Structure 1
Amino acid sequence: MAKKFSRQVKTEKRKSNRVQNKDLLLKLKEQIDTYDVAKEQPSQFEDLPLSQGTLQGLKEASFVKLTDVQRKTIPVSLKREDVMATARTGSGKTLAFLIPTIEALVHAQITEFDGLAALIVSPTRELAIQTFEVLTKIGKYNSFSAGLVTGGKDVKYERERVSKMNILVGTPGRISQHLNEAVGLETSNLQVLVLDEADRCLDMGFKRQIDSILGHLPPTRQTLLFSATQSDSVQDLARLSLTTPQRIGVSDDNEMVNSNGTSTVPDSLSQYYVKVPLNEKLDILWSFIKSHLKCKILVFFSSSKQVQYAYESFRTLQPGIPLLKLYGRHKQTSRMETTVKFSQAQHACLFATDIVARGLDFPAIDWVIQLDCPEDAATYVHRVGRAARFGRKGKSLLMLLPTEEEGGMLKRLEPIKIDRMNIKQKVKKTIRPQLQSLCFHDPVMKNLAQRAFISYFRSVYVQKDKEIFRVEELPSDKFAESLGLPGAPKIKMRGNTGAAREKKNASRQLLALEQTNDDGEVVEEENKKVRTKYDRMFERQNQTVLSDKFINLTGGDGGDGAADAEDDDEDDFIQVKRKDHQLVEEELPDMSIPVSKRQAKKALSKKLSSASKGNATKLKFDDDGVAHAIYELEDEADFAKAGDAKSQKEAFVEKETHLMTAADVEDKQTAKDKKQEKKRKRKEAERRMREEEEESASGSEAADYGVDLDRDLQSSSDEEEDESPASKKPKWFETSKQKKSQVAEIEEIEQPQTLEDLEALTQRLLQG
């Protein structure tokens, strides 16, 4: 009776809690509907109509005050409207979309059985991990399940668990892969889609993956698009994924965005630039690090090869500060360890590429150094945005080449105030002798230096703004010497550059005039001949096997092949003596093809040759048996009856447009049906596999319980031979042996030919 009474008490308590939660949600819904975004000016999270669990999670995570972007976006997002927000780096965009996402799931009363309800897409693994960590902090008092899917992890491990997640955070490539392959991942109940750093997703080439993700999601969803800059590609993405969005931070009079669309940097950030020759960059970087050992420094390079060389060389020279490196081709575990170490370090220097330029929040960075010039103003803003976050103070230093300063890089950054910094010569130190010694004694360091040299030149070559990035004016020899190399490596750039492009586009007549002398005669090259691929092959230095034979055959190198053959008859057993023969046309045989007079007359007569007017003479018959030409043209009178040419063209285009639209819809539906059928078949196959495993497991258990009692009476020697316990679940090799034994029990018998053979077979089967 006591157990029954306690069970009834628990049931009644759950019912009362459910009713109480429902009443609280209704009150919150009323507050959200009556909330005036224009009049209300909340300063803290408690002023917003949020659930108690979310407020408690924010309080324990030390999130109290609202930032500008949070104050403007969260109330609008709570009303379940689509939002397209632009905010400067370090302004708190992560909470601006995480809080509405959690609240949307709370109001929809999502449980673990409802499947995927929120999807958050981030451009990089580090940003996705950072977003997931913040989500687990502020959402720990809610009953939702959240998962993180990124590249570099086990796909099968994620696929088994991704279907049980309510909130999914990940990178575009891995999310698209799971939506296409995971069997139990259903998106029909999706409430919120978040596109974080949408411009970066498109810049990194994830447009195809994002389009694939949008194709799997239902149209009845809320979409939140956040970005630090606005570009044409982001506008196109917004038109595809958002429905009448509320634009926040995009207007000209907004304090967060400039008129040119580039987000401003924080006021607490002090920005400087210095004019540096290319061959002195590493020296100045070394001198800067040595004079700022008690600081937290982030250094940006343009390529991962430069990061590797600078990290390995500086680590060998030991500047006196912990050094770290981070770039895209690192393993996932190494990237995670580096991110955690740099976040927790008080004094450290991180060499990185632009992979950490977006969204990542490293606490208390003192200096951001851009060793290589950014490709545009947006990249500059994102790089320096790693410092001076959330009102803290920070500094940035941009190193510009003389050509980059003359090309107008500072003009591209005119809305941003950057002061010039002068380098004190007494502080400047050189490490060129040490780098040369490293490259001389260590082949690995020399290889890293060569790869860094090539990658830097290629990074400059691929830039679009050729006024700033002039690869032909870079001092290659001096730069190679500054890296410790004895000479500049040869670089093969794709495409035609410089003189090759000019020669290709030059006029053929001008090239012919350049080859004439003062008397107007064409200057011919001596011994000019057509060079084939075989000529080029034998001219190579490493082709030493047949080159002598080829020279003797052709009489190259000014020698006579016959004379050489006389000197060495054993080796040169073939000799060819070139001779110019005079040909007499009368002595040549007649090779002409006989042609009739009728054919010759038709070929030479313009009237007869143009009789067909270029049309084919072959005929085709319609259903009525009337013959028509294959390319039959409509008469001008019949064409005029149908209207003027413009109206007919518009009607034809409109007709074809309707047909193509209908065909497109049909093709999309067919592709969707194929995907669903593929998912269904995969799900059915997995279900059958599970059933077979369960049946085999149950069969093995039954066999274990049904073991003969005589097994206990076996000798000790038999026990020693089979010490391994029989597993309940048969292995793959055990099932194969079992099948082989079953096949082996089948006995083949010859076909009986006579009555005696049939009787013998019958008796044998009865006895068996």
Structure 2
Amino acid sequence: MKPKRFDKRGAKGDHLSIVRRKKELKELEKREIAQLTARYDHVKIDEIQSFADMPLSQKTQRGLAECEYFVPTEIQRESVILGLRGFDVLGAAKTGSGKTLAFLLTLDGLGALIITPTRELAVQIYQTLVNVGKFHDFSAGLLIGGKELEFEKDRLDVINIVIGTPGRLLHHMDQNPLFTCVNLQILVLDEADRCLDMGFEREMNAIIENLPPTRQTLLFSATQTKKVKDLGRLSLKDPKYVSVHEHEKYKTPEGLTQSYMMIEQHDKLTMLWSFIKSHPKQKIIIFFATCNQVKFVFDVVCKLRPYNTLYCLNGKIKQEKRMDTYQSFCRKQHAVLFATDLASRGLDFPEVHWVIHADCPEDVDTYIHRSGRTARYFKGGESLLLLNPSEKNFIEMLETNRIPITEIKVNPNQLVSPQAKISAFLAKYPELKASAQRAFVSYCKSVFLMKNKSVFDFNSIDTAKFASSLGLVTTPRVRFINRAEKSKSDGKTKPHEKISENGVKNSDTFHFMSDDDDSDDGVLKMKRVNHKLEEMNIEEEKEEEVLEMPAPKHHVVTKAKIAKRILKKNISANKKVVFDDEGQQILDRSKVKATEAGKSYEEAAECGINIDEAKKVMLEEDKFDRKLFREKLKAKRKMNKIKLKEEARERRGLPPSDNEAADSDGDAESDESGSEPDLSWLPDPDKVYNRDSDHENEDSGTEEIDSNVKRRKLENPSEDEVTSDDECLGLNKREQEELALKFLSSKKKLSS
């Protein structure tokens, strides 16, 4: 049979046509890229009216059209062209102005690294990249905490664009040989000011050291950093600063209506509950300072059962739950989200009507990012700031930074206090009470650690009323603040409690960041920088010593540790010795070793227990314990027999016998043996029949006579003995005669 031959119309011809087609497409792409690259320097930014006017590839244009992106924003118009030309770009624009798309369009799909401070923002960027670039051939990867590490490790060598958070990126750089940044061309930092602050300093420094020096760097944020120190860390070369709203009248979006309200701290929960009840058809985000506050308020409001759908988002929640909460809240038209500053950076929540600052923001930048969750993409929104009377200076800071804000008054008649119900909930649910205590302590710590003491004054808070508003009967103790105030009043601090120039204490001493604890080594959470306190100055020359001082370790002393200490001292502990009236030691045979092996083992035991020797001792002691147990059983049976015999004699009217104990002793032995009946009570036949030797003593003769007399009495009982037997029946002579007559008369009747 001849081998089958393929012509151009067969399978071989189809394969050749596919290869030829791929080569033609690659050549077309190269020519298109060359033409677009030639246009980079000739494009005028002022003439760009739509994305079609930009030098972008056809695949990118198709992706933008399908996502309904037609007209670029100002930040996109200016930063995209500069990025395509290869400049380092520092982009700053108002919240909701499209900064994410601005740096995504700059990527060429080869060797790009995007770093974000939070996981949710990384997921949002990844989804936008997938939608816009779905017609491209590049591959993108998402590296965030809370996901399977092994799943990410095996796929990093085939990924062109990596999007991740600092903690997980650094983890792969240190432990994954497949993750290399040698060919990196573009580095993007979204929310750059947060990525470069003290909270991510260690991780970012380590990541930057692993990156090649020849790269393009893009930095984007609504509050862009201009610090020489931060820019020097990134090795920027002739960066272009793009701030499209720098010269505008206000820093915040035009559609954002901003207002503030002066209210005491203990009245804020009443205010929030009344606001939620009066806005059932609104989409609201309420920001708190700490995770514990978010959890407690969320749990309490859930039990109060409003009409609104409630969500909770903070750093202590697992990643899957966080993503479900984020996506569910985005889909809802009417809902309430309780969140920390974790949700204040970059996240795009569609159509949010209200942003409420339940706690005063740390600084103006934090306020801008919080308020930026509403009024996005030129839509309207409202922001409400709740301030304590002592925080009034924060309004001056906002006005200085070109942020318009007006004061509003609350109508007391419209407030509905839930304090009585909250107190009942805390009495019914102990876990809710513990949550309230944690919320109180965490808020006090956050206020005490704030940098700006002209705004945040812990002493101005009425802690008793604040605790009562949370449903607590007593005010919880805040030991950290008490120690700090005591050390300040004494003018002395312990070596491990010294306060450094950069913070209240060494960061190892007080882990305020544990409030936003997370599984990604404390990186994928909104970190707070420790700040210094006024009137607690330390000499600058001692700063290094303070920072290097290790934190004190408070070890819990357990029973096992105490036992080990006693064993090391070779002390026989927990032994009770009892003495009698004469001063003799009374030994408890159930607790004291009885065998020689056991006594020697106790004397030799110094450092712990020797298992092999202990087994041998236990076997020997077991024999003794069995013997002791048998003796106890014998004594118990003996006492029971004596008791039964005495009861029988009492029923018969006989006096108690002195020989019962001896008899019962013999009976007990017979019962224990269980083999033959005990006949030791019978007389000796040799003694009865005088077979003993002549040298028997007088006592033995007496016993012989007694035994003979007993034997004759058994054979020929006398009348006295019979009478004694009749007396045992309890009848006198007359009664006996009457009984005999009745017996004879009954016999005659039977015979007749």
Residue matched to 1:739: none
Cα distance per residue 1:352-401 (max 9 Å; x no partner)? 00001110000000000000001111111110010000101000100000
User: In the alignment, residue 450 of structure 1 is paired with which amino acid?
Assistant: Q
Q: Which of the numbers 100, 108, 112 marks the counterpart of 2:106?
A: 100
Cα distance per residue 1:623-651 (max 9 Å; x no partner)? xxxxxxxxxxxxxxxxxxxxxxxxxxxxx
Deviation at 1:472, TM superposition (A): 1.4
User: In the alignment, residue 68 of structure 1 is paired with which amino acid?
Assistant: E
DSSP-derived class of the 1:493 partner: helix
Cα gap change, 1:433 to 1:204, in 2 (>3 Å): farther
DSSP-derived class of the 1:430 partner: coil
Deviation at 1:43, TM superposition (A): 2.0
Structure 1 residue 208 and structure 2 residue 202: aligned?
Answer: yes
Residue matched to 2:245: 255
- Partners of 2:247 and 2:307 lie apart in 1 by 40
Instruction: Please say if residues 60 and 132 of structure 2, whose CA atoms lie closer than 8 Å, have aligned partners that are also in contact.
Output: yes
User: In the alignment, residue 95 of structure 2 is paired with which amino acid?
Assistant: T
| TM-score after normalising by structure 1 | 0.61
User: In the alignment, residue 440 of structure 2 is paired with which amino acid?
Assistant: F
Q: Name whichever of 395-404 and 156-165 sits farther off.
A: 156-165
Gapped regions of structure 2 (runs ≥ 5): 1-6, 494-582, 584-752
Residue matched to 1:72: 78
Cα distance per residue 1:295-345 (max 9 Å; x no partner)? 000000000101111000100011110000000111000000000011000
Instruction: Please say if residues 310 and 335 of structure 2, whose CA atoms lie closer than 8 Å, have aligned partners that are also in contact.
Output: yes
Structure 1 residue 18 and structure 2 residue 23: aligned?
Answer: no
Q: Which of the numbers 124, 134, 152 marks the counterpart of 2:118?
A: 124
Cα distance per residue 1:247-276 (max 9 Å; x no partner)? 111xxxx534679xxx81101000010111
Q: Which of the numbers 159, 166, 169 marks the counterpart of 1:172?
A: 166
- Partners of 1:499 and 1:343 lie apart in 2 by 48
Residue matched to 1:32: 40
Q: Which of the numbers 294, 299, 305 marks the counterpart of 1:318?
A: 305
Residue matched to 2:591: none
Instruction: Please say if residues 91 and 224 of structure 2, whose CA atoms lie closer than 8 Å, have aligned partners that are also in contact.
Output: no
DSSP-derived class of the 1:180 partner: helix
Residue matched to 2:646: none
Q: CA RMSD in A?
A: 2.0
Residue matched to 1:58: 64
Structure 1 residue 478 and structure 2 residue 465: aligned?
Answer: yes
Q: Name whichever of 210-219 and 449-458 sits farther off.
A: 210-219
Q: Which of the numbers 87, 91, 97 marks the counterpart of 2:93?
A: 87
Q: How does 1:318-467 map to 2 (within 5 A)?
A: 318-405=305-392, 407-414=393-400, 415-467=402-454
Cα gap change, 1:26 to 1:380, in 2 (>3 Å): same
User: In the alignment, residue 123 of structure 1 is paired with which amino acid?
Assistant: P
Instruction: Please say if residues 88 and 256 of structure 1, whose CA atoms lie closer than 8 Å, have aligned partners that are also in contact.
Output: no
Instruction: Please say if residues 86 and 257 of structure 1, whose CA atoms lie closer than 8 Å, have aligned partners that are also in contact.
Output: no
Deviation at 1:9, TM superposition (A): 2.5
Deviation at 1:460, TM superposition (A): 0.4
Instruction: Please say if residues 449 and 483 of structure 1, whose CA atoms lie closer than 8 Å, have aligned partners that are also in contact.
Output: yes
- Partners of 1:341 and 1:328 lie apart in 2 by 17
User: In the alignment, residue 165 of structure 1 is paired with which amino acid?
Assistant: I
Instruction: Please say if residues 369 and 396 of structure 1, whose CA atoms lie closer than 8 Å, have aligned partners that are also in contact.
Output: yes
Gapped regions of structure 1 (runs ≥ 5): 111-116, 507-569, 571-768
Deviation at 1:204, TM superposition (A): 6.1
- Partners of 1:49 and 1:266 lie apart in 2 by 29
- Partners of 1:394 and 1:148 lie apart in 2 by 32
Cα gap change, 1:398 to 1:283, in 2 (>3 Å): same
- Partners of 1:454 and 1:85 lie apart in 2 by 39
Structure 1 residue 183 and structure 2 residue 194: aligned?
Answer: no
- Partners of 1:126 and 1:354 lie apart in 2 by 12
Deviation at 1:55, TM superposition (A): 0.6
DSSP-derived class of the 2:412 partner: coil
Structure 1 residue 142 and structure 2 residue 172: aligned?
Answer: no
Structure 1 residue 6 and structure 2 residue 14: aligned?
Answer: yes
DSSP-derived class of the 1:434 partner: helix
User: In the alignment, residue 366 of structure 1 is paired with which amino acid?
Assistant: H
User: In the alignment, residue 29 of structure 1 is paired with which amino acid?
Assistant: T
Structure 1 residue 291 and structure 2 residue 301: aligned?
Answer: no
Residue matched to 1:692: none
Cα gap change, 1:322 to 1:412, in 2 (>3 Å): same
Cα distance per residue 1:212-238 (max 9 Å; x no partner)? 111111122111111222346575235
Instruction: Please say if residues 199 and 230 of structure 1, whose CA atoms lie closer than 8 Å, have aligned partners that are also in contact.
Output: yes
Deviation at 1:61, TM superposition (A): 0.9
DSSP-derived class of the 1:65 partner: coil
Instruction: Please say if residues 196 and 230 of structure 2, whose CA atoms lie closer than 8 Å, have aligned partners that are also in contact.
Output: no
| TM-score after normalising by structure 2 | 0.62
User: In the alignment, residue 410 of structure 1 is paired with which amino acid?
Assistant: E
DSSP-derived class of the 1:389 partner: coil
User: In the alignment, residue 241 of structure 1 is paired with which amino acid?
Assistant: S
Return the index of the structure with the highest Cα Rg.
2
Structure 1 residue 271 and structure 2 residue 277: aligned?
Answer: no
User: In the alignment, residue 127 of structure 1 is paired with which amino acid?
Assistant: L
Deviation at 1:70, TM superposition (A): 0.5
Deviation at 1:426, TM superposition (A): 2.4
Q: How many pairs are equivalent? A: 485
